[in-house]
């Protein structure tokens, strides 16, 4: 297969600028993917520093390090930055790098819009972060920006609203690009049902994004006009309804949860077959389960609001619908396990993170089912139980998926093998400290410790101390990841084209590092 033309290598530098301008002007999916990934890592460290400040304050009862107003800003900004700055852009980075290579396309469908989608993000992040320095400080009402608090705050809230608008526009453009690329640019012979699972999960995620990001934009625009132009959408005194915001927000917010997990499902569905040296068990069920999860994700939003006031029929409806999501998710977990069953497994770092993902994400899924039960949810609402639940889903789910994918494709991206020993150390440190941080938070929540508080009653002291120690261990372990990545970029053993023996998708037919331009002549898929 003539995947790479000679002139690609010889003239990889031609007709595009060098230095900073290369990155500013680039329309190459690999460059843009790299920028997305670095951006998300910087945001991950930024949000991580906020998390560590939160955990330092909660190390013992009383107020030691930050004042309560700043503490609330930290919890809010930690959430916003990790969701919109770290997890989402990281997956778009993977999509940019991998989707064209996995479907045999030369680039993304709208290459210039791709550049624009990325370059919207740094200004949005700056806008969001600089809200710390304006009068009144950063938003402090929680990442869900519920009114009336979000209507009452200072101009930091307006900055956050604009930042969300910009990041939303970036996401929508990115999604349209991904959908168009997947539907129109697949190699001859690659029918939809032959696409790699990662491509499938991103196709469905992109549709979800196009569906719900405008809803978020609408919600924050209404907030903006309530704040600045005298409207009363969410002001009860003016005939509005603050609970309406919650409905609109969570109609975005719940699919958003799946937007952050489906691409991780896709990565794990690539990694497990590779290291089990077996095809993915039940490929078509995986596709169907992903579609089914996406549809169900749109009809469960009010389970975030069981205590906000709703008729019992509403509570029951959302409880049943939420519990039913466990069915397709269970199908996926079963399929991953069945893929490993009797496989010739090896446990390189990507596989370790993928297995860690299955194990811990399932735990997070179970605590989700528990939260879905209305009477239990009324007890654990706004406690650390919920914090523990969603960190099991988003850290050991989404983030472990990202780590798994990063280690899996780093040799393809850099042309060098990463340091396997350090990768494994990174996994085990991450695994141990993650559980140390978040497992005890289940107990804190069940004992009644509320979320978003800088100080707490004495009976919560021990578990908080354990959690804070775990958090610092977890945070510092991520610097090891940075070191491994930098080391891998700078050198190391030469990675072969087919880095992993079991790798079956099209990117493994390309040399490592993947040349600047690939698949200018599409490969033929049998």
Partner 1 sequence: MTTAKKNKATFLQIAKAVSWAFFGVRKQSDLDMDASNLTPKQVIIGGLIGAAFFVLTLILLVKLVTN
Does 477 participate in binding partner 1 (rule CB under 8 A)? no
Closer Cβ to partner 1, 299 or 447, answer by number: 299
Nearer to partner 1, 295 or 378 (CB): 295
Stretch 246-275 residues interacting with partner 1 (CB under 8 A): none
d(CA 57, CA 51) in angstroms, rounded, equals 10
Q: Which of residues 296 and 363 has its CB atom nearest to partner 1 in the complex?
A: 296
149 lines the binding site for partner 1 (CB under 8 A): no
Identify which of residues 243 and 291 has a Cβ nearer to partner 1 in the complex.
291
Catalytic residue flag (residue 416): no
To which residue do tokens 């879905």 refer?
372
Residues 342, 348, 354, 360, CA torsion sign: positive
Contacts 24+ apart (CB under 8 A), 340-344: 340/272, 340/276, 340/278, 341/281, 342/278, 343/275, 343/276, 343/277, 343/278, 344/276, 344/277, 344/278
- Of 55, 186, 278, 332, which residue is the catalytic one? 332
Task: Based on the shown chain and the rule CB under 8 A, indicate whether residue 321 belongs to the binding site for partner 1.
Answer: yes
Question: What is the distance in angstroms between the CA of the first residue and the CA of the last residue of the chain?
Answer: 12
Catalytic residue among 269, 362, 383, 437: 269
How far is Cα 252 from Cα 215, in angstroms, rounded to an integer? 6
For residue 22, give Cα distances in angstroms to 6, 12, 275, 333, 517.
Answer: 22, 12, 36, 42, 15
Output 293 or 351, the one with its CB closest to partner 1: 293
> Is there binding between residue 197 and partner 1 (CB under 8 A)?
no
Query: What is the distance between the alpha carbons of residues 114 and 36, in angstroms, rounded to a whole number?
Result: 11
DSSP 4: S
DSSP secondary structure of 145-212: T-TTHHHHS-HHHHHHHHHHHHHHHHHHHHHHHHHHHHHH-PPTT--GGGS-HHHHHHHHHHHHHHHH
**DSSP secondary-structure letter at 231?**
-
Task: Report the distance separating Cα 445 and Cα 369, nearest Å.
Answer: 16
Interface segment toward partner 1; rule CB under 8 A; list 68-76, 94-102, 316-324, 345-353: 316-324
Among 341, 340, 271, smallest CA distance to 508 is for 271
For helices 312-340 and 242-276, give the axis angle rounded to 10 degrees.
10
Taking CB under 8 A as the rule, does residue 341 contact partner 1?
no
Q: In the bound complex, what is the minimum distance in angstroms from residue 483's beta carbon to partner 1?
A: 40
Range in contact with partner 1 (rule: CB under 8 A) among 100-108, 158-166, 272-280, 312-320: 312-320
**Rule CB under 8 A: is residue 285 a binding residue for partner 1?**
yes
Residue numbers 410-469 binding partner 1 by CB under 8 A: none
**Annotated catalytic residue 304:** yes
Q: By CB under 8 A, is residue 111 in contact with partner 1?
A: no
316 binds partner 1 (CB under 8 A): yes
User: Which C-beta is closer to partner 1: that of 155 or that of 291?
Assistant: 291
Q: How far is the CB of 245 from partner 1 (least distance, A)?
A: 23
In the shown chain, the binding pattern of residues 376 to 415 toward partner 1, with x for contact by CB under 8 A and - for none, equals ----------------------------------------
Give the shortest CB-280-to-partner 1 separation in angstroms. 13
Per the annotation, the verdict on 227 as an active-site residue is no
User: Among 232-240, 284-292, 357-365, 456-464, which window interacts with partner 1 (CB under 8 A)?
Assistant: 284-292
Residue 410's nearest CA partner among 355, 504, 491 is: 491
Which of these segments, 114-122, 136-144, 283-291, 388-396, binds partner 1 (CB under 8 A)? Answer: 283-291
289 near partner 1, judged by CB under 8 A: yes
Helix or strand holding residue 240 (H, E): none
Pick the closest to residue 406 from 442, 364, 354 (CA basis).
354
Q: Would residue 116 show up in a list of annotated catalytic residues for this protein?
A: no
Classified as helix, coil or strand, 471 is: helix
171 included as an active-site residue: yes
316/476 with CB nearer partner 1: 316
- Considering only 34, 75, 292, 505, the residue that binds partner 1 (CB under 8 A) is 292
DSSP 383: B
Tokens of 99: 């989707």
Q: Taking CB under 8 A as the rule, does residue 317 contact partner 1? A: yes
Measured in whole angstroms, the distance separating CA 440 from the mean position of its chain's CA atoms is: 23
Which of 186, 227, 303, 426 is an active site residue? 303
**Is the CB of residue 90 less than 8 Å from the CB of residue 205?**
no
Nearer residue to partner 1 within complex by CB, 239 or 311: 311
Residue 18 interacts with partner 1 (CB under 8 A): yes or no: no
Interaction of residue 279 with partner 1, rule CB under 8 A: no
Of the candidates 331, 393, 398, 495, which one interacts with partner 1 according to CB under 8 A? Answer: 331
- What residues act catalytically? 78, 107, 143, 170-171, 254, 256, 258, 269, 303-304, 329, 332, 451
Q: Which residues bind partner 1 (CB under 8 A)?
A: 191-193, 282, 284-285, 288-289, 291-293, 295, 298-299, 312-313, 316-317, 320-321, 327-328, 331-332
């Amino acid at each position: 297969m003539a995947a790479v033309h000679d002139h690609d290598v010889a003239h990889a530098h031609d007709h595009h600028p060098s230095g900073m301008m290369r990155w500013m002007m680039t329309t190459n999916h690999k460059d843009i993917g790299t920028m997305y990934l670095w951006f998300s890592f910087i945001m991950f460290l930024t949000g991580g520093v906020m998390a560590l400040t939160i955990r330092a304050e909660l190390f013992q009862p009383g107020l030691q390090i930050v004042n309560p107003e700043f503490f609330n800003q930290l919890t809010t900004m930690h959430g916003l930055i990790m969701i919109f700055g770290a997890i989402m852009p990281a997956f778009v980075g993977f999509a940019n790098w991998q989707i064209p290579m996995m479907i045999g396309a030369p680039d993304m469908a709208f290459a210039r819009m791709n550049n624009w989608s990325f370059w919207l993000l740094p200004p949005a992040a700056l806008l969001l972060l600089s809200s710390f320095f304006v009068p009144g400080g950063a938003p402090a009402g929680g990442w869900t920006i519920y009114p009336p608090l979000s209507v009452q705050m200072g101009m930091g809230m307006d900055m956050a609203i604009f930042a969300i608008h910009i990041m939303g526009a970036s996401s929508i453009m990115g999604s349209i690009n991904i959908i168009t690329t997947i539907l129109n640019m697949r190699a001859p012979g690659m029918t939809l049902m032959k696409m790699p699972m990662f491509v499938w999960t991103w196709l469905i995620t992109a549709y979800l994004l196009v569906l719900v990001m405008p809803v978020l934009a609408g919600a924050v625009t209404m907030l903006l006009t309530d704040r600045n132009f005298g409207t009363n959408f969410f002001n009860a005194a003016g005939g509005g309804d603050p609970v309406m915001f919650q409905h609109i927000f969570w109609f975005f917010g719940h699919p958003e949860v799946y937007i952050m997990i489906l691409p991780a499902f896709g990565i794990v569905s690539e990694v497990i077959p590779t290291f089990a040296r077996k095809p993915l068990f039940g490929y078509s069920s995986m596709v169907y389960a992903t579609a089914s999860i996406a549809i169900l994700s749109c009809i469960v939003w009010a389970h975030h609001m069981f205590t906000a006031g709703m008729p019992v029929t509403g509570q029951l409806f959302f409880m049943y619908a939420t519990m039913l999501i466990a069915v397709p998710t269970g199908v996926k977990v079963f399929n991953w396990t069945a893929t490993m069953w009797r496989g010739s497994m090896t446990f390189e770092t990507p596989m370790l993170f993928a297995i860690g993902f299955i194990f811990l994400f399932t735990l997070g899924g179970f605590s989700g089912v528990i939260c879905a039960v209305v009477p239990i949810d009324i007890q654990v609402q706004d406690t650390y139980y919920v914090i523990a639940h969603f960190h099991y889903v988003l850290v050991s789910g989404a983030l472990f998926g990202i780590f798994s994918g990063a280690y899996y494709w780093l040799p393809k991206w850099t042309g060098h093998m990463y340091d396997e020993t350090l990768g494994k150390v990174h996994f085990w440190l991450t695994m141990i400290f993650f559980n140390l941080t978040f497992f005890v938070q289940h107990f804190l929540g069940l004992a009644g410790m509320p979320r978003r508080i800088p100080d707490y009653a004495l009976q919560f002291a021990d578990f908080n101390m354990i959690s804070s120690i775990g958090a610092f261990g977890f945070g510092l372990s991520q610097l090891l990841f940075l070191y491994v990545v930098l080391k891998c970029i700078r050198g190391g053993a030469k990675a072969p084209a087919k880095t992993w023996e079991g790798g079956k998708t099209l990117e493994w037919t390309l040399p490592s590092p993947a040349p600047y331009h690939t698949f200018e002549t599409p490969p033929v898929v049998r």
